[in-house]
């Protein structure tokens, strides 16, 4: 019993620490309910390097760099770093693209769904329900979610490529490099991309979260799926800790707002919020983890996870250039104007769900074939 309590207590403390870090980042400048939204951060980073023209969402987020480097250090120290890859990389890239479609239709990744709920935004419940639904469908299709094929050992150099790219981006953003007048890097002057804590604080926060996420193997999607499908609750304790810390922190800083409407960077087209996160649950489960988990895996030497992240960056560019995203609700003169997804965004969500189901069914077939070969 003492070991059980110690283990669950440790996971709970990790959740509280992550939730507190998110609230502090919001207090020091990050957007409301977006202290740690790795999906939104990838969208901003894509804009910062010039993959999309949306001026309010252009800033290379140091939290991303910190998460990758924190995971890298933790994996090296613990002896868990291993260069690997070769598990359907192109499919994972496509999954990353569709995951970003779901994120930008809902207006947040699973991490932000938690933080929205922790700030009183009940749309967070809708987001987490969608993630759980998508992850559960993926679990039904594949005996072991996220395994598209068998990973293979790779040359050590390949495991350091993505962390090195992150370091390069950090250097460029700290020096505020402009390759030519009017060109990247871009730094938003208004909108969510202009809301940011000091880069050193953001980097330190990312490093801390990267270390904790690597040591606990934390994944929002995995936590929800394991609790319902496998009756394993350790990762769910981290989620509860994040929610508790975010709730207390937002109450203390006067940022707690309870309800569905009028929430920061949110919309109330509930069906498409839910379906967007169903797509996220499918894509992240099949791809082996939520955005934070993908960054951690990339830091551990997993080139497939790195390619998933690149797919998300590319997907953010496509979504903004092709209008495959939602607009937030706005309030002017006391009147609420409902936002929501564009028609092309709705088509993209449905297409993404179909593609993910096809990938899951193909993965299940491959798993059956491998087991049959083992028996013979």
User: What is the predicted pLDDT for the residue at 1?
Assistant: 37
User: What is the predicted pLDDT for the residue at 115?
Assistant: 96
Bridge partners, 336 (sequence order): 331
Number of domains forming the structure of the chain: 1
User: What is the predicted pLDDT for the residue at 273?
Assistant: 97
Listed as ranges, residues in the chain with pLDDT below 70 are 1-6, 143-150, 363-376
User: What is the predicted pLDDT for the residue at 369?
Assistant: 52
User: What is the predicted pLDDT for the residue at 332?
Assistant: 85
Q: Which contiguous run of DSSP H or E holds residue 199? A: helix 199-216
Tens digit of each residue's pLDDT (9 = 90 or more) over 73-94? 999 999 999 999 988 899 999 9
User: What is the predicted pLDDT for the residue at 143?
Assistant: 61
The domain of 294 spans 2-375
| Exposed e or buried b per residue across 62-75, where buried means at least 16 C-beta atoms within 10 angstroms of its C-beta | bbbbbbbbbbbbbb
* pTM tops 0.75: yes
Tokens of 23: 């609230």
CB 44 within 8 A of CB 60: yes
User: What is the predicted pLDDT for the residue at 146?
Assistant: 46
Phi, psi of 83 (to 5 degrees): -70, 125
User: What is the predicted pLDDT for the residue at 367?
Assistant: 52
User: What is the predicted pLDDT for the residue at 133?
Assistant: 95
User: What is the predicted pLDDT for the residue at 6?
Assistant: 57
């Amino acid at each position: 019993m003492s070991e059980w309590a110690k283990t669950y207590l440790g996971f709970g403390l990790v959740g509280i620490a992550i939730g507190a870090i998110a609230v502090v980042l919001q207090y020091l400048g990050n957007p409301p309910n977006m202290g740690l939204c790795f999906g939104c951060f990838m969208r901003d980073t894509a804009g910062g390097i010039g993959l999309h023209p949306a001026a309010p969402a252009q800033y290379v987020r140091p939290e991303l760099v910190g998460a990758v480097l924190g995971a890298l250090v933790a994996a090296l120290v613990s002896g868990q770093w291993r260069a690997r890859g070769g598990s359907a990389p192109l499919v994972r890239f496509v999954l990353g693209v569709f995951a970003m479609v779901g994120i930008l239709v809902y207006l947040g990744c699973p991490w932000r769904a938690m933080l929205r709920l922790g700030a009183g935004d009940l749309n967070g419940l809708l987001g987490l329900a969608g993630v759980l639904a998508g992850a559960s469908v993926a679990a039904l299709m594949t005996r072991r979610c996220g395994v598209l094929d068998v990973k293979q050992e790779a040359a050590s150099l390949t495991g350091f490529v993505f962390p090195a790219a992150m370091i390069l981006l950090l250097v460029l953003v700290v020096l505020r490099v402009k390759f030519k007048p009017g060109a990247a890097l871009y730094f938003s002057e208004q909108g969510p991309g202009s809301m940011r804590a000091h880069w050193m604080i953001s980097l330190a926060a990312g490093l801390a979260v990267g270390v904790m996420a690597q040591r606990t193997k934390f994944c929002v999607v995995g936590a929800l799926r394991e609790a319902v499908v496998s009756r394993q609750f350790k990762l769910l304790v981290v989620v509860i800790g994040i929610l508790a810390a975010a709730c207390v922190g937002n109450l203390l800083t006067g940022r707690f707002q309870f309800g569905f409407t009028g929430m920061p960077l949110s919309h109330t087209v509930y069906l498409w919020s839910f379906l967007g996160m169903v797509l996220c649950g499918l894509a992240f489960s099949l791809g082996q983890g939520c955005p934070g988990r993908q960054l951690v895996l990339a830091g551990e030497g997993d080139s497939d996870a790195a390619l998933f992240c690149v797919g998300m960056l590319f997907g953010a560019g496509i979504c903004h250039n092709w209008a495959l995203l939602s607009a937030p609700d706005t309030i002017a003169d006391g009147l609420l104007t409902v936002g929501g997804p564009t028609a092309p965004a709705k088509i993209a969500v449905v297409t993404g769900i179909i593609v993910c189901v096809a990938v899951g069914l193909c993965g299940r077939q491959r798993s059956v074939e491998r087991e049959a070969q083992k028996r013979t």
